[in-house]
Amino acid sequence: MATWILWVHVLAAAVWLGGAAVLRLAILPALAGGASAACAAAGARAHFVTSRAMEALVLTGILNILARGVATNLTYGNPFFGMIALKTLAFVLMGALQLWMGMGWRQARPEDLTDALRRARIGLPVQLALGALGVLLGLGIGPY
Q: 59-68: per-residue pLDDT in tens?
A: 999 998 888 8
Mean pLDDT on 80-97: 89
Mean pLDDT on 120-129: 90
Domain span at 57: 2-139
For residue 94, which amino acid is it?
M
Query: pLDDT exceeding 70 applies to what percent of the chain?
Result: 94
Q: Per the domain annotation, does 144 fall within a domain? A: no
pLDDT per position as a tens digit, 35-85: 677 877 888 888 899 999 999 999 999 998 888 887 777 777 788 888 888
Q: Per the domain annotation, does 31 fall within a domain? A: yes
Comparing CA positions, the residue from 142, 139, 144, 143 lying closest to residue 10 is 139
Structural domains in the chain (count): 1
Q: Per the domain annotation, does 48 fall within a domain? A: yes
Q: Per the domain annotation, does 38 fall within a domain? A: yes
What is the number of alpha carbons within 13 Å of residue 55 lying toward its C-beta?
7
pTM: 0.79
Q: Per the domain annotation, does 76 fall within a domain? A: yes
Non-local (6+) Cβ contacts of 104 within 8 A are 115, 116, 117, 118, 119, 120
Query: pLDDT exceeding 90 applies to what percent of the chain?
Result: 26
